[in-house]
Amino acid sequence: MKQYTVAIVGATGAVGTQMLQCLEEQEFPVGELKLLASPRSAGKKVETPWGEVVIEAAAPECFDGVDIVLGAAEDDVAKALYPEAVHRGAVVVDNSHAFRLDEGVPLVVPEINAGDIASHHGIIANPNCATIIGLVPTWPLHQLAGVKRMIVSTYQAASGAGMPGMLELEAQIGAMGRGEEMPTPRAFAAQLASNLIPQIGGEKFEGFTSEEMKLQNEGRKIMHLPELRVNCTCVRVPVLRSHSESITLEFERDITPEQAREALAAAPGVKLVDDLEAESAHDRWPMPLDTSDQDLIYVGRVRRDISNPEALRGITFWCCGDQIRKGAATNAVQIAKLLTE
């Protein structure tokens, strides 16, 4: 079996660290592994399933001999480095949003549009995390009844803002518990512990933020639905890991909640947890604590949209998924695995 030289850019971050674990779990045929980060981290040693690796400061020459680059750094790093990696013969699976909407760059959720991978020219983009988590359960319902419109509210975990976001929430919860003065917020615009912050990203379009517009713009590209209409509100919540979403879908054709549940129960990447009568809360509805550190999107609270005048044209549901895994690292490694098959 062919072994691949793999480089992770941003290897010390929330997504990059998770990628290491996903490579092992998905039995990716790693021959040699390179871990790249900022100059701050250069020289640090990391124990990996493939032996000890010394982190290098990311630079174009690091990609000599690399087959697959897994990108887990911000846009500026992606724009500066990945064309150089492609020039040296590597294929890049990138988690930043630098190239997501570019023509010739497939934007892929394997459960939905794995076939798009074939059209790549060296860079394949991983979608926004909230977009992946919302679309994995939307796709089987779309196949059944044709989705026209999505109304979405997201409840996004602190770790969506990377390691700094996670550490900031932990520090705030600790300070609260000890009755100490609250540390000054840096990763977020305001204190997150015991609070909600109703803005993620900068303003993009008619008062909607950049994060909110991603679900529409990336969703259209992934599902090949250029007319899809999306109204999204993104909120940061004091949860460490796993994004949650309330989603209402409007369809072209009739669909009952029972049909929706059946399709979701059979859909790849989805676990249906939908029983208001269940004894244990964990079996009643999805919760972010239950979906952390695993790869499935849990879906529950599936019901008819009673506000839709056409009785069977709307479905509402709730879903949760680990955005560092399926929203980023797991999805990227799945794409890389498809490249090797």
Ligand X SMILES: NC(=O)C1=CN([C@@H]2O[C@H](COP(=O)(O)OP(=O)(O)OC[C@H]3O[C@@H](n4cnc5c(N)ncnc54)[C@H](OP(=O)(O)O)[C@@H]3O)[C@@H](O)[C@H]2O)C=CC1
Cβ neighbour number for residue 234 with a 10 Å cutoff: 27
Return the DSSP state at 107: B
With CB under 6 A as the contact rule, which of the stretches 153-161, 178-186, 251-259, 272-280 interacts with ligand PHD?
153-161
Name the minimum Å distance from CB 102 to ligand PHD.
Answer: 14
Phi, psi (5° rounding) for residue 201?
Answer: 90, 175
Please state the closest distance from residue 133 (CB atom) to ligand PHD, in A. Answer: 10
Residue nearer to ligand PHD on the CB measure, 46 or 200: 200
- Tokens matching residue 18: 């998770």
Asked whether position 160 contacts ligand PHD by CB under 6 A, the answer is: yes
Helices 257-266 and 129-145 meet at what angle, rounded to 10?
120
What is the C-alpha to C-alpha distance for residues 115 and 120, in angstroms, rounded to an integer? 11
Q: Is 41 annotated as a binding residue?
A: yes
DSSP 281-301: GGGTS--HHHHTTSSPEEEEE
Largest Cα span, the chain = 62
Strand partners, 123: 92
The one catalytic residue in 129, 234, 319, 320 is: 129
Q: Which of 123, 129, 136, 263 binds ligand PHD (CB under 6 A)?
A: 129
Q: Does 200 bind ligand PHD (CB under 6 A)?
A: yes
Nearest by Cα to 330 from 64, 111, 106 = 111
The binder of ligand PHD chosen from 18, 41, 156, 216 (CB under 6 A): 156
Question: Do 204 and 183 meet the contact criterion of CB atoms below 8 Å apart?
Answer: no
Closest CB to ligand PHD among residues 70, 129:
129
Distance in Å, CB of 230 to ligand PHD, minimum:
15
Burial (Cβ within 10 Å: 0-12, 13-18, ≥19) of residue 187:
middle
Verify binding: residue 158, ligand X, rule CB under 6 A: no
Tell whether 284 is in a known binding site: no
**From 23-31, 72-80, 139-147, 177-185, span contacting ligand X (CB under 6 A):** 72-80
Residues 227-256 that bind ligand X (CB under 6 A): none
Residue 66 CA to residue 51 CA, distance in Å, equals: 18
Q: Which one of ligand X, ligand PHD, none interacts with residue 287, CB within 5 to 8 A by kind? A: none
Is there binding between residue 288 and ligand X (CB under 6 A)?
A: no
- CA 214 to CA 220: how far, in whole Å? 10
Beta bridge partners of 298: 271, 320
Q: How far apart, in Å, are the Cα atoms of 197 and each of 161, 275, 296?
A: 13, 30, 26
Angle at 192 between CA 191 and CA 197, to 5 degrees: 100
Q: Is 46 in the site for ligand X (CB under 6 A)?
A: no
Measured distance CA(321)–CA(157) in Å, rounded: 10
Is 129 a known active-site residue? yes
Contacted by 156, from ligand PHD, ligand X, none: CB < 5 to 8 Å by type: ligand PHD
Rule CB under 6 A: is residue 72 a binding residue for ligand X? yes
Nearest-approach distance from CB 89 to ligand PHD, in angstroms:
26
Does the annotation list 194 as a binding residue? no
Catalytic residue set:
129, 243
By CB under 6 A, name the binding residues for ligand X: 9-16, 36-38, 40-41, 58, 72-74, 77, 95-96, 129, 159-160, 162-164, 323-324, 327-328
Give the residue ranges of the annotated binding site for substrate: 156, 236
Interface positions with ligand PHD (CB under 6 A)? 95, 97, 128-129, 156, 160-161, 200, 211, 214
